[in-house]
């Protein structure tokens, strides 16, 4: 896999597109293959065994397509499977958790940090560990937000149901006097306007910018940045329904999503 090969990017659905947005800003010439595992969304209620199988199937596919690196654009996989599989493949893999933890530690002054994430991510306490590895005086308050992903996948980015859920999830964090809130699931930046409205002065953090910066540094350090500055070639693949992915995805990325194909992955 050489420098002109694409980067593989994956998530359970449209969430990873919030990371693609940062990717397009920082690595505009790079080609990429995006895989949305919509046949298995939501990931947040799956077991570690299930998630490991999905991750291996996706990595098997990416390796067969010759990707030069993988951006794990999913907080759940970054927390639950990446630590176990990252040494199994001969290419760099970058996740969201360490990046989010670094950004949170830079942002906080009270050392009281909130994390909103999926149930699987919260159960793993990966964010808590990563933040406290950097600054052990930090207190980390994690809240699982299982109602968010189905709403985002359905394209419901405003409305009463969403606002009620957001109020329910932010309240315990505000009661802990956090000064920084990490969006620990890549679907949640779709909901930033609603969440920001509820948290006032608290700094709302999307780990995507930091994760893509890490990927860029790794590509540069391994002489894997693409040669030409031609426009990026993007491929969007899903394991479920193409139409709803395209509809919701275009609300964030517009016509960058020109075509979406549905594929079935072989077991890796």
Judged by beta carbon, residue 38 or residue 108, the one nearer ligand DGL is 38
Tokens encoding 142 = 């994690």
Tokens encoding 265 = 């992955």
Judged by beta carbon, residue 184 or residue 224, the one nearer ligand DGL is 184
Q: Minimum CB separation from ligand DGL for residue 175, in Å?
A: 24
74 is catalytic: yes
Judged by beta carbon, residue 121 or residue 170, the one nearer ligand DGL is 121
Catalytic residue, candidates 74, 105, 145, 203 = 74
Catalytic residue, candidates 105, 138, 145, 185 = 185
Separation of alpha carbons 162 and 241, rounded Å: 23
Q: Minimum CB separation from ligand DGL for residue 121, in Å?
A: 6
203 is catalytic: no
Q: 3-class secondary structure for 158-215?
A: CCHHHHHHHHHHHHHHHHCCCCEEEECCCCHHHHHHHHHHHHCCCEEECCHHHHHHHH
Q: What is the DSSP string of 47-103?
A: -HHHHHHHHHHHHHHHHHTT-SEEEE--HHHHHHTHHHHGGGSSS-EE-SHHHHHHH
Q: Minimum CB separation from ligand DGL for residue 42, in Å?
A: 3
Judged by beta carbon, residue 14 or residue 224, the one nearer ligand DGL is 14
Q: Minimum CB separation from ligand DGL for residue 120, in Å?
A: 7
Residue numbers of the site for ligand DGL (CB under 6 A)?
A: 11-12, 15, 41-44, 74-76, 118, 121, 149, 185-187
Q: How far is CA 3 from CA 14, 25, 66, 69, 70, in A?
A: 27, 19, 11, 10, 13
Among 215, 263, 261, 255, residue whose Cα is nearest residue 235 = 261
Judged by beta carbon, residue 18 or residue 108, the one nearer ligand DGL is 18
Q: Minimum CB separation from ligand DGL for residue 18, in Å?
A: 8
Question: Which residues participate in catalysis according to the annotation?
Answer: 74, 185
């Amino acid at each position: 896999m050489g420098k002109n090969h694409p980067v593989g990017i994956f998530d359970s659905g449209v969430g990873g597109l919030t990371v693609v947005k940062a990717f397009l800003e920082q690595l505009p010439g790079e080609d990429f293959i995006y895989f949305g595992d919509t046949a298995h969304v939501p990931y947040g209620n799956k077991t570690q065994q299930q998630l490991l199988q999905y991750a291996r199937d996706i990595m098997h596919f990416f390796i067969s397509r010759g990707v030069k690196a993988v951006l794990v654009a999913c907080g759940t996989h970054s927390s639950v499977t990446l630590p176990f599989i990252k040494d199994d493949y001969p290419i760099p893999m970058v996740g969201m958790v360490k990046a989010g933890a670094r950004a949170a530690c830079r942002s906080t002054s009270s050392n009281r940090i909130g994390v909103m994430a999926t149930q699987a991510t919260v159960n793993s306490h990966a964010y808590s560990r990563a933040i406290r590895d950097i600054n052990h005086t930090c207190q980390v308050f994690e809240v699982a937000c299982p109602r968010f992903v189905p709403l985002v996948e359905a394209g419901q980015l405003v409305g009463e149901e969403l606002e009620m859920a957001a109020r329910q999830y932010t309240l315990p964090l505000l009661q802990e006097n956090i000064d920084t809130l990490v969006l620990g699931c890549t679907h949640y930046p779709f909901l930033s306007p609603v969440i920001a409205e509820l948290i006032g002065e608290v700094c709302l953090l999307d780990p995507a910018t930091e994760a893509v910066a890490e990927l860029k540094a790794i590509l540069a350090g391994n002489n894997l940045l693409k040669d030409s500055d031609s426009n990026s070639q993007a491929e969007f693949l899903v394991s479920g329904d193409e139409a709803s992915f395209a509809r919701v995805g275009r609300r964030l990325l517009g016509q960058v999503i020109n075509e979406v194909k549905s594929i079935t992955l072989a077991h890796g």
